[in-house]
Structure 1
């Protein structure tokens, strides 16, 4: 293995517009490469160092789906169950329909939202955190927005389409976190700690930080095109309440921590130390493509050509379209500030890539990074 091209790529993007970047590669349960470059704090010219905590944003979704699949394994819920069996406020939903001439009207939904729809982004929700019902729950809870209260508020908003008919990236996994709370009885953050991060020894992953961890939180940046440089922009805009444990975008973690979770999925749900968080059957279901042909046109991001969508993850289904050097079945997801997970059971390969830049250059960085990793093996 020669990872010089990978370190050269990290050097290239950190000399371009990304303040810092780090990549960790595990192969057959061994760390075979780790490299970081750039400045964690641009103003003070502080080099990126070990143990920096970052917002992983939508890579939270992999953890949330894992948490919910554990309940499926216990028989506590089924993918085909109606969501209203657990969250009754979703029993009668409305759908916004566009009429000829552009006028919209609301109609009662024909199909029920199922648990599967939450996993697969097919419930009909949007990602509009500024919608009236969401803003109202922020106000009525004095800025706390408990996860369960968020789910009740979202149910008041009309759906974009009939559940199960289309794919739309949305707040499905935030509702899935509320479902876990209702079915299990613990708060989502407590459930995650007790069932996944605690057993895996992930001490730097959670929705809230201690004072010590806050000192290790990496500054967050956004690239300003007019100024031609990255400018400081801290905070998580998806954290709409102090008690909102967002299953879609709320976790904070480190490279060393989150790779433990990703690597367990690579090895069919069991960690190197023998801690089992999912069965092999559940991991296979997670990385199975759940898109119908009609939905495939909705899943059209340039960097995900040749990929389908499973239970909260992209999954490689067609090499001729993807141009990816990874094998079919490679899966994972990414986050708004640019982190990336590559999970590959066939190759026994796990990659955790991290950066902390909004407007993250994902279409450029991620496909190239993936191909370079596989070419280095």
Structure 2
């Protein structure tokens, strides 16, 4: 039987919106998965349930969970200044105004804390105006923006470059996108003294059975790895092939957008969040309080000023956005999740137990999600609706 989900994905493939996609919609034990189209144009394989994708910014919720684990371990505190582990950020400078030249700075009036990294108010990042002088170096020296893992400097060199860039806003004052997730990854490495991928594997991926999630794809699995495209003037342009930038482990492991995964792996992580930190087999990985903090609005209205290009009226928890009301297309109050610039999205709604994961391989042209994502969110809300009587 052809499902509405398959019909939606096939329509976009037929219309040339994307070469292929894999999507999962679940509510409790009911799961629907559809794979359509091609993983690689031409002679490449068809999409399959276990196709691997560059998941981009839906890495961020995983990264936030890792930081919260360190807090629960007692190794860091939510309001601890991060300079203890990130000495490069001990005395940050802040541009006098967002439009000020890089040399026109004032000292930060307060230290950057772990909480500020989690809620994205540390002062590093970007929002509605990409022309600010302090924003440009983030895309240049630090390779923020579309992921290019093999072009990013190793951790210590990356941090040294960041330390030369002033903050765009005073710590704690304004939500800014992306860079704080990178700093979360650096924090985990500095606190534990080991690589980020090892910590994530031990504490999250292995307990959840996320066997296909990591920062690169082993050679034996490259046949399952989708190519990555952007839409050009004459159709799809190849950005990265399966044997490209994710085929070897990068020097810098990006907590903001570096992971490769599958729909079933991310669904395992979503089930952990819906179960307040308990795995399917009853092991507790996170406290209920930490998981609820991830899924709770952490921002004031003043901190959200200027964020609409990314948040579109949503707010931010830890690692993902929070829908505050149902005014957005396809949204529900309390829905938590995020989208990725490589054409991915993953959301869960605790009130209904719903999960929606859509993985495509076409770069999103801007921070505002494309039509397909909005259509997918609406369909997620409608699927299994008879279960909610």
For normalisation by structure 1, the TM-score amounts to 0.88
1:80 corresponds to 2:87 = no
Could you list the runs of 4 or more consecutive aligned residues of structure 1 that deviate by over 6 angstroms after TM superposition? 99-104, 235-241
1:1-377 aligned at under 5 Å gives the runs: 4-16=3-15, 17-28=17-28, 30-44=29-43, 46-98=45-97, 105-126=104-125, 128-132=137-141, 134=142, 145-224=153-232, 226-227=233-234, 229-234=235-240, 242-301=250-309, 304-319=311-326, 321-326=327-332, 328-359=333-364, 362-376=369-383, 377=385
Q: CA separation of 1:104/1:374 partners in 2, compared to 1, >3 Å: closer, same or farther?
A: same
Report the alpha carbon displacement of residue 102 of structure 1 after superposing the two structures with TM. Answer: 7.8
Residue in structure 2 matched with residue 138 of structure 1 by the alignment? none
State how far apart, in whole Å, the 1-side matches of 2:100 and 2:201 are.
51
Q: Indicate if the aligned counterparts of 2:219 and 2:247 stay in contact, CA closer than 8 A.
A: no
Mapped partners of 1:238, 1:104: distance in 2: 37
The C-alpha deviation readout for 1:177-203, integer Å capped at 9, x for no partner, is: 111112222211100011110111111
Q: Residues 315 and 329 of structure 1 are in contact (CA less than 8 Å); yes or no, is this contact kept in structure 2? A: yes
* Cα offsets for 1:291-348 (capped at 9, x unmatched): 211122322037x4342111111011122x324452x221011211111111122211
Unmatched segments (≥5 aa) in structure 2: 127-136, 144-149
Kept in 2: contact 1:200–1:275 (CA 8 A) = no
- Equivalent residues of 1:151, 1:174 under 8 A apart: no
Matched residues in 1 for 2:254 and 2:213: separation? Answer: 13
Contact 2:51 2:262 survives alignment (8 Å): yes
Name stretches of at least 5 consecutive residues in structure 1 with no aligned partner: 136-141
Contact 2:33 2:49 in 1 (8 A): no
* Greater displacement, 180-189 / 281-290: 180-189
The separation in 2 between residues aligned to 1:334 and 1:346, in whole angstroms, is 20
Task: Give the Cα–Cα distance (whole angstroms) in 1 for the partners of residues 300 and 246 of structure 2.
Answer: 29
Aligned alpha-carbon RMSD (Å) = 2.8
User: Could you tell me whether the CA contact under 8 Å between 1:147 and 1:246 is conserved in 2?
Assistant: no
Q: C-alpha separation between the residues in 1 aligned to 2:255 and 2:321?
A: 17
Counterparts in 2 of 1:357 and 1:99: CA distance versus 1, 3 Å: closer
Q: How far 1:116 moved relative to its partner?
A: 1.2
* CA separation of 1:107 and 1:309: change in aligned 2, threshold 3 A: same
Q: 1:89 to 1:348 in 2, by over 3 A?
A: same
TM-score by length of 2: 0.85
- SS in structure 1 at match of 2:308: coil
Aligned partners of 2:46 and 2:33: how far apart in 1?
Answer: 15
Distance change (3 Å), C-alpha of 1:196 and 1:160? same
Q: CA deviation at 1:100?
A: 9.0
Q: Secondary structure of 1:151's match?
A: helix
What do residues 138-184 of structure 1 show as CA deviations (whole Å, max 9, x unaligned)?
xxxx9773334423431221111111111111311111111111222
Q: Distance in 2 between matches of 1:109 and 1:93?
A: 6
Count of residues in correspondence between the two structures: 363
